[in-house]
């Protein structure tokens, strides 16, 4: 397009034949791009080009060069990428140039949000490998750049025997590197290694049947699982072998379990079939016998043991309706007090208790009336504080689990509809939303886990219930990390990221550092810097993009008016002049096409040409005659125009010549010339008296060339 200081870019789209290097088609876009440099997403299979333009993302048909969908995403994205492995669109969104931005993933066909994750300052290009996505964040001008990570696997269970996962999954708990998944429908408990998402031991069959399956569990030390069932008992299993130890009869359906010291507390809500009083049964785990019964009120749905050893019971006297938190003293189990809860609770009740030391730090986090609340459970009663609510949520917030600095809040569709559910990741202290993930239908719970990247990333499982008694449950792995490297590790001016090789499982990436004048090689498995290669550029003429010709040879475009072939072993640099500020690069066979948006001078004057490099020799460099031809179009004078203005142009072959005037939205404002002309230089005059003030695009079409410039009208 055409760039003018104080103006903008008049965008055009050219299609070149890679073999002949000639233009075979072109159009003028109907609006300006959102950001520079342009990062567009390409879906070759679906024949779509996704462009951040006019404050939104638009889809163009690659074959017809027409708008296929005007608004794919309504936000002002700085960059777009298309992930062919998941058929999703990755959007970099920056609110400004000094605040953290967002990496948002959508379904390009429906526009549905799949995830959004807070990343570093000034996010730009993103790239993916398998289930991993990496975003480079340029940072503030001259400051440190970062790389953000997001992992997203819709169903991660990887049993090598191809055994189905299970059905009716309603509860998940973690301990170390293991996750324990309770399947109420298929009457199993699976113990998974969260680093590899495979069975740690064979599935534990609980021995229940029908609708009386397992419901919840807790841990008795490291060796025993205490499982509550709807069969009217709790069952203990050896955590190492999965063998049944014993069964302890209860007066009703076991809804929740909490283990403290040598006692297990079992919540038994009111049930018409069993007709018990609503009670909490106290079990001595040494003898395996019930030793006490506590009557906290109707429907005790949740309980936990706090830092002081007191038993805390959440009671729902009416459903739906507000409940109470009832406290029983440690040791004596006498009722110590109770307090009302500030809203109606959901069922099943999933809350979390986070002990961070000290009375003021003890907090119960619970979702009531579609709002996440927190308040201390020891010491003075205090006032419940609102931690998080989502006014944009289409469903209901209903459960929360803990994870250190973060809380995982689940959202389910209203009226239990079979619509997708989301998991919100919220900062525990501030309540700020840092991520939101789509997690399948009928999500039961989300829990923090130790994933493949250990404690270097925030990893969690979202458990989808699936159909009862059929192996249809799903386990979604969700991960994120705003900065995968230490502070100031990467450098400044991160501009481009690419993989070192073409393989999808390649674990090495190359990051072009425009500010630090280097190419950083990263190991994406260990998240470490392996090498820094200097580009030997300086000032504002730094590197822009990197292409790996081989593991030992890099091709780097620069604003120094050249492309540089760098041999990694000795850091030797061969300068290949391309006579313009080199930006993007693409490879077709043995040819490298290099975009030259600007001429190599201080004023960034237009170049609008493409250099072609032959990789067979790395010596044959030429400007593409299809774009930089003898057909020329000069800037109109005077500019801005108020009445009449003149355009000088030349054509190199005889044929039809068209000069047309367009508004910035692509509407035709007038045809200046449309006739057969001989080769030569000409002047066309435009009467601007009838044009409104503003910017216009005038376009010359002649002999296969299409050239554009911007004209301003000022009254």
Q: How confident is the model at residue 294 (pLDDT cuts 50, 70, 90)?
A: very high
- Residue 276: is its pLDDT beyond 60? no
pLDDT at 114: 92
Q: How confident is the model at residue 634 (pLDDT cuts 50, 70, 90)?
A: confident
pLDDT at 620: 45
Q: How far is CA 111 from CA 121, 291, 472, 476, 551, in A?
A: 25, 57, 26, 21, 38
* Average pLDDT value over all residues in the chain: 86
Q: What tokens were used for 664?
A: 């910035």
Q: How confident is the model at residue 234 (pLDDT cuts 50, 70, 90)?
A: very high
Q: How confident is the model at residue 244 (pLDDT cuts 50, 70, 90)?
A: very high
Q: How far is CA 506 from CA 129, 154, 525, 567, in A?
A: 8, 21, 10, 21
Between 573 and 271, the higher pLDDT residue:
573
Question: How many angstroms separate the CA atoms of 3 and 606, rounded?
Answer: 6
**CB 375 within 8 Å of CB 387:** no
Region 181-210 average pLDDT? 94
- For the beta carbon of residue 463, count every other beta carbon within 10 angstroms: 26
- Residue 448: is its pLDDT beyond 90? yes
In the chain, what is the greatest distance between 2 CA atoms, to the nearest angstrom? 105
- Residue 697: is its pLDDT beyond 60? yes
Indicate the range of 166-180, 206-220, 290-304, 686-700 predicted with least confidence. Answer: 686-700
Tens of pLDDT, residues 80-100:
999 988 899 999 999 888 899
Nearest Cα to 204, choosing from 176, 234, 230, 236? 236
Question: How many angstroms separate the CA atoms of 281 and 225, rounded?
Answer: 17
Question: How many angstroms separate the CA atoms of 576 and 619, rounded?
Answer: 7
pLDDT at 603: 59
Between 204 and 15, the higher pLDDT residue:
204
Question: How many angstroms separate the CA atoms of 543 and 535, rounded?
Answer: 7
- Residue 380: is its pLDDT beyond 80? no
Region 312-341 average pLDDT? 87
Question: How many angstroms separate the CA atoms of 677 and 655, rounded?
Answer: 6
pLDDT at 619: 47
Percent over 90 (pLDDT), the chain: 49
pLDDT at 626: 43
Q: What tokens were used for 336?
A: 């110590």
Nearest Cα to 389, choosing from 363, 407, 376? 407
Which of the residue ranges 159-163, 283-287, 343-347 has the most confident prediction, judged by mean pLDDT?
283-287
Q: What tokens were used for 638?
A: 């005077």
Indicate the range of 104-118, 262-276, 341-355, 580-594 predicted with least confidence. Answer: 262-276
Tens of pLDDT, residues 643-675:
888 888 888 788 899 998 888 767 888 899 999
- Residue 440: is its pLDDT beyond 70? yes
Alpha-carbon torsion angle 438, 439, 443, 445, nearest 10? -110
Q: Which DSSP string corresponds to 99-159?
A: SEEEEEEE-TTT--EEEEEEEEESEEEEEEETTEEEEEE--STTSB-EEEEEEEES-----
Write out the E strands in 589-693.
Answer: 591-598, 606-614, 621-623, 632-633, 644-651, 655-662, 668-677, 680-687
pLDDT at 623: 46
Tens of pLDDT, residues 387-434:
999 888 888 898 999 878 899 999 988 876 767 789 999 999 899 999
Give the global pTM. 0.82
Percent over 70 (pLDDT), the chain: 91
- Residue 272: is its pLDDT beyond 80? no
Q: What tokens were used for 159?
A: 């049993």
3-state SS assignment for residue 414: helix
Question: How many angstroms separate the CA atoms of 625 and 76, rounded?
Answer: 35
- Residue 360: is its pLDDT beyond 70? no
Tens of pLDDT, residues 539-558:
989 999 999 988 889 999 99
Region 332-341 average pLDDT? 91
**Which single residue is written with the structure tokens 């189990």?**
333
Helix or strand holding residue 175 (H, E): strand 169-175
Nearest Cα to 49, choosing from 32, 31, 33, 63? 63
pLDDT at 668: 86
For 124-147, letters b (16+ CB in 10 Å) and e give bbbbbbebbbbbbbbbeeeebbbb
Between 147 and 605, the higher pLDDT residue:
147
pLDDT at 505: 58
- Residue 137: is its pLDDT beyond 60? yes
Tens of pLDDT, residues 392-405:
888 889 899 987 88
Q: How confident is the model at residue 682 (pLDDT cuts 50, 70, 90)?
A: confident
């Amino acid at each position: 397009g055409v760039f003018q200081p104080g103006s903008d870019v008049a965008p055009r789209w050219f299609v070149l034949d890679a073999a002949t290097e000639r233009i075979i088609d072109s159009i003028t876009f109907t609006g300006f791009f959102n950001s520079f440099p342009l990062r567009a997403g390409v879906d070759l299979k679906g024949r779509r080009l996704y462009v951040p333009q006019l404050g939104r993302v638009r889809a163009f048909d690659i074959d017809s060069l027409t708008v296929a969908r005007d608004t794919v995403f309504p936000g002002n994205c700085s960059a777009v990428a298309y992930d062919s492995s998941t058929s999703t669109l990755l959007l970099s969104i920056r609110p400004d140039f000094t605040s953290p931005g967002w990496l948002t993933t959508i379904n390009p066909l429906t526009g549905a949000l799949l995830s959004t994750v807070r990343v570093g300052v000034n996010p730009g290009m993103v790239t993916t490998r398998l289930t991993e996505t990496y975003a480079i964040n340029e940072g503030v001008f001259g400051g440190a750049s970062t790389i953000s990570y997001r992992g997203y696997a819709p169903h991660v269970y990887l049993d090598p025997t191809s055994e189905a996962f299970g059905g009716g999954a309603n509860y998940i708990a973690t301990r170390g590197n293991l996750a324990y998944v309770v399947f109420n429908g298929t009457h199993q408990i699976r113990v998974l290694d969260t680093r590899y998402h495979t069975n740690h031991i064979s599935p534990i069959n609980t021995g229940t049947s029908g609708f009386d399956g397992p419901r919840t569990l807790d841990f008795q030390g490291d060796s025993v699982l205490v499982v509550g069932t709807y069969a009217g008992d709790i069952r203990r299993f050896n955590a190492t072998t999965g063998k049944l130890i014993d069964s302890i009869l209860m007066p009703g359906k076991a809804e929740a379990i909490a283990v403290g010291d040598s006692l297990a507390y079992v919540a038994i809500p009111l049930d018409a079939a069993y007709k018990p009083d609503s009670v909490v049964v106290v079990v001595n785990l040494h003898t395996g016998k019930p030793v006490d019964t506590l009557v906290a009120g109707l429907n005790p749905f949740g309980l936990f043991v706090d830092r002081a050893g007191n038993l805390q019971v959440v009671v729902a006297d009416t459903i739906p309706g507000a409940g109470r938190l009832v406290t029983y003293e440690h040791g004596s189990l006498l009722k110590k007090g109770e307090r009302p809860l500030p809203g109606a609770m959901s069922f099943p009740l999933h809350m979390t208790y986070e002990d961070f030391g000290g009375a003021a730090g003890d907090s119960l986090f619970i979702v009531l009336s579609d709002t996440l609340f927190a308040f201390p459970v020891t010491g003075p009663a205090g006032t419940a504080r609102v931690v998080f609510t989502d006014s944009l949520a289409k469903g209901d917030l209903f459960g929360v689990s803990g994870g250190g600095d973060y809380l995982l809040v689940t959202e389910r569709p209203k009226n239990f509809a079979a619509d997708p559910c989301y998991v919100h990741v919220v900062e525990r202290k501030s309540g700020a939303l840092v991520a939101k993930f789509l997690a399948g239908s009928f999500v039961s719970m989300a829990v923090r886990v130790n994933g493949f990247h250990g404690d270097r990333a925030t990893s969690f499982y979202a458990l989808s219930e699936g159909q009862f008694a059929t192996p249809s449950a799903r386990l979604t792995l969700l991960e994120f990390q705003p900065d995968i490297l230490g502070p100031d590790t990467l450098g400044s001016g991160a501009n481009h990221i690419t993989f070192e090789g073409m393989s999808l499982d390649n674990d090495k990436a190359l990051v072009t550092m425009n500010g630090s004048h280097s190419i950083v090689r990263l190991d994406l498995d260990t998240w470490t810097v392996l090498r820094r290669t200097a580009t030997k550029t300086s000032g504002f003429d730094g590197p822009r993009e990197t292409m790996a010709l081989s593991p030992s040879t890099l091709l780097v475009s620069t604003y120094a008016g050249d492309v540089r072939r760098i041999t990694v072993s000795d850091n030797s640099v061969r300068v290949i002049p391309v006579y313009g500020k080199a930006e993007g690069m693409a490879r077709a066979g043995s040819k490298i096409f290099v975009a030259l948006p600007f001429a190599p001078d201080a004023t960034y004057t237009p170049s609008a040409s493409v250099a072609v490099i032959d990789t067979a020799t790395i010596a044959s460099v030429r400007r593409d005659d299809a774009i930089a031809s003898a057909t020329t179009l000069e800037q109109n004078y005077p500019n801005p125009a108020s009445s009449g203005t003149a355009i000088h142009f030349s054509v190199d072959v005889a044929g039809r010549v068209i000069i047309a005037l367009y508004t910035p939205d692509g509407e035709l404002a007038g045809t200046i010339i449309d006739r057969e002309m001989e080769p030569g230089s000409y002047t066309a005059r435009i009467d601007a008296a009838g044009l409104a003030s503003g910017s216009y695009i005038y376009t010359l079409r002649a002999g296969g060339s299409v050239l554009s410039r911007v004209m301003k009208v000022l009254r």
